[in-house]
Amino acid sequence: MLIKIELAESSEEACNSMTSVYTHAFTLTLYLGMIYMVYIRSFFLSVALVMTFVSHCWAVSVPSDKYRTIQAAITALENNSILGDTINVARGEYSENLVLSGAATIVIVGDETAATFLDAKDRSKPILSISNASSNVTVRNFTFRTGNRGIVLINSSGVIIASNIFRLGNNGDAISSDAFTDANIINNTFYDNNRAVDQGGETTEITNNIFNNNNVAISPNTLTEAVSYNCFNDNNDNGVTGTQVIINRNPLFVNISLNDFHLKENSPCIDEGSGTDIIDSSTADMGAYGGDYADVFPFKVQNVAVSDVLANVGTPAISVTWSANESYRVTHTTSPGGYKLYYDSDQSGPPYKGEDASVGTLFSPIDVGSDVTSYTISGLTPPNIIPAAPTISNVIPSKSQTLDVYWGSVASATGYRLYYGVNDHNENQIDVGTVTNYSLSGLTNGVIYNIAVSALHQATYYLSVTAYGNTATSSLESGYSDERSLDMGSEKESVLSAILPGIPEAVVPFPLLPDEGCFIATAAFGYYDAPQVQLLRDFRDHYLLSHSPGRWFVKQYYIYGPKAARYIERHPEWKSAVRLVLLPLIAMAWVLFNVLWLAQVVVISGGIMFGVLYLRRKRRKLAASSHAREIFS
């Protein structure tokens, strides 16, 4: 027992460094010392157990800090045998082109067949290539999904490919093998592939698989003796079917569109394989969820929905509905599985420790049994918490027209509300979420704002549903469904914090240096901070410096502008004329910065139309006067 605990705790860490291994070995020695004292009374046996522990490590995990990709883990195991022989791949999607070349004794295992996806990063290469005298390689519990070739086997022996789903599409060949490879292809489901198994060798065994909706199931050059206990349905060409075969009978997958290839009750592939099922020791099913390597999880429960049914029930209650999981292990007629309902009002995500339902089964999870797809959790007592008032720690004018407000967090607050205004703090309210600081922008510089914060509490329930198989142990339970949440009762608000004043204002840099842009305008309008000059400066920054012709213009302006500015300074009589010339540009800049885009279009179009009409009128006048001159002459 003690040994088991220690092994479970260490896993990858112990395997990843010798130091760690020795540390664990030391700890284990202490345990074994105790065992020796109490039970074994054999020093040599204790030493033997320690040596066994140190010499045999067990697994690395992907993804982890050390092994972000499966290939990284493969390479590490190939180069360092002390890391062990197993790669545990967590649920997720992996886009790689895995290569095992000359590898010996490596097991690559996915956490859950239906939720551990392998895709080809480069479609021209196989998702997994096993070659160059690799031996004793096992690949199991994956869904091979995207790629032109799934697994390619070349000159390798002792390869086991088990409990996988291959769904590569019309152009994808699931497993290809050469004549020098011996492999066991056991309990896989091949659905919608070009060629499911293209086997060139004579020593590959193909057993307990389901071939459905493929172009070619097993290529014709496979020896019949090596093919047995397989199910073929709806393939264009079954190829070699072998012995103990089920042909042209629908295997009854639960939900193909969701990649749920569990079998429904009455599937012809149940208990028709060779060997036994690891789940219940019955005769093996065919397909990815039967046999020795099947993962034991029902498919995740789908379409969970929740609603507040206080009005119907009379007490706070939540109605939960979901779609049935039609796997025969859940719906079994004589020995069904069922569903478990998890809830919590404190936090999102597992472990869902709700315990306030007062009707029926109280604590989460609630085992709602089989053959149901809805349940009402009633008699709930949503937390009725009024949070304490927060304290504003700082109000900082971080930049022009902006105040940054900081406050301390409040226990049990699920959000905060910010109040601010000039005459009264109640003029504006913003619910800012769970943050403890907020930038109030768009304020008026130089004006005193009164600011306060309150804490909010909203009782929220978080719910999830799982399905479990008919041999109801915790290890046969599906993963959590997608979580649903529901607000219950009214939101509670704390009293306000103390009201603090804040004055937004433009930050003036140190040292106070002039912006030497807009030379001519500065000279013409007399001072640097003139609003017209600022408008032109903004126009430069927003509309000229954003593209290369504009930047070229600005560059030229910076070269020649100062000379013109100096001339205007020396000849003030020109200032009015320059202001007049700049006026249309300033007006346009004002429109661009202060008027909505539609109005901008209207104003600019109006200006252009006015210009065109003016020119046409002038042309007509000229034409009329020349015509008159012709008549009088």
Partner 1 sequence: MIGFSRAYANGKVMLVTLLSSVCLLLPVASLAKDESTTPHWSFELKIGKFESALEDWDTYYDETPSLLKVGWSYKIFRPLEIGLSLGRMTTNGIGNLPIQGSIGGDVDFTLVPVNISLLYRFVFHENQLLVPYVGGGWTRVYYRQETGGGNKFEGSHDGHHIKSGIQILLDSFDKRSARNLQQKVGIKNTYLFLEAQSIEAKKSGIDLGGGSIFLGLLMEY
Shorter beta-carbon distance to partner 1: residue 125 or 537: 537
- Do residues 354 and 343 make contact, with C-beta atoms less than 8 angstroms apart? yes
Stretch of 151-159, 202-210, 397-405, 417-425 lying at the interface with partner 1 (CB under 8 A): 397-405
d(CA 141, CA 121): 19
Site for partner 1 in 10-49 (CB under 8 A): none
Task: Using alpha carbons, select from 77, 55, 81 the residue that is nearest to residue 67.
Answer: 77
Task: Using alpha carbons, select from 179, 178, 144, 180 the residue that is nearest to residue 161.
Answer: 144
Shorter beta-carbon distance to partner 1: residue 212 or 522: 522
Query: Residues 40, 76, 396, 472: which binds partner 1 (CB under 8 A)?
Result: 396
Q: Counting contacts by CB under 8 A, is residue 401 touching partner 1?
A: yes
Stretch of 23-31, 138-146, 393-401, 458-466 lying at the interface with partner 1 (CB under 8 A): 393-401
The position carrying tokens 């082109």 is 97
Query: Residues 66, 399, 575, 579: which binds partner 1 (CB under 8 A)?
Result: 399
d(CA 201, CA 222): 7
Quick one: three-class SS letters along 221-276?
Answer: CCCHHHEECCEEECCCEEECCCECCEECCCCCEEEHHHCEEEEECCCCCCCCCCCE
Amino acid at 617: R
Q: What residues does 392 pair with on adjacent strands? A: 407
Shorter beta-carbon distance to partner 1: residue 411 or 513: 513
Stretch of 133-141, 197-205, 506-514, 578-586 lying at the interface with partner 1 (CB under 8 A): 506-514
The CB density around residue 372, as the number of other CB atoms within 10 Å, is 13
Nearest approach in angstroms of CB 439 to partner 1 is 10
d(CA 465, CA 368): 10
Shorter beta-carbon distance to partner 1: residue 514 or 549: 514
Site string for partner 1, 507-526 (x = CB under 8 A): xxxxxxxxxxx---------
Dihedral of CA atoms 212, 196, 256, 328 in degrees, nearest 10, equals 70
Shorter beta-carbon distance to partner 1: residue 382 or 397: 397
d(CA 174, CA 180): 18
Stretch of 82-90, 222-230, 232-240, 399-407 lying at the interface with partner 1 (CB under 8 A): 399-407
d(CA 531, CA 587): 12
d(CA 116, CA 379): 39
Task: Using alpha carbons, select from 89, 57, 50, 56 the residue that is nearest to residue 73.
Answer: 89
d(CA 26, CA 327): 47
Query: Residues 234, 483, 505, 569: which binds partner 1 (CB under 8 A)?
Result: 505
Site string for partner 1, 430-449 (x = CB under 8 A): ---------------xx---
The H or E element that residue 28 is part of is helix 18-35
Nearest approach in angstroms of CB 545 to partner 1 is 10
Stretch of 92-100, 330-338, 502-510, 583-591 lying at the interface with partner 1 (CB under 8 A): 502-510
Stretch of 227-235, 330-338, 394-402, 471-479 lying at the interface with partner 1 (CB under 8 A): 394-402
Phi/psi for 257 (5° steps) reads -65, -25
Query: Residues 86, 163, 204, 402: which binds partner 1 (CB under 8 A)?
Result: 402
Query: Residues 242, 338, 365, 397: which binds partner 1 (CB under 8 A)?
Result: 397
Site for partner 1 in 458-497 (CB under 8 A): none
Nearest approach in angstroms of CB 508 to partner 1 is 5
Nearest approach in angstroms of CB 433 to partner 1 is 23
Residues lying near partner 1 in the complex (CB under 8 A) are found at 396-402, 445-446, 503, 505-517, 541
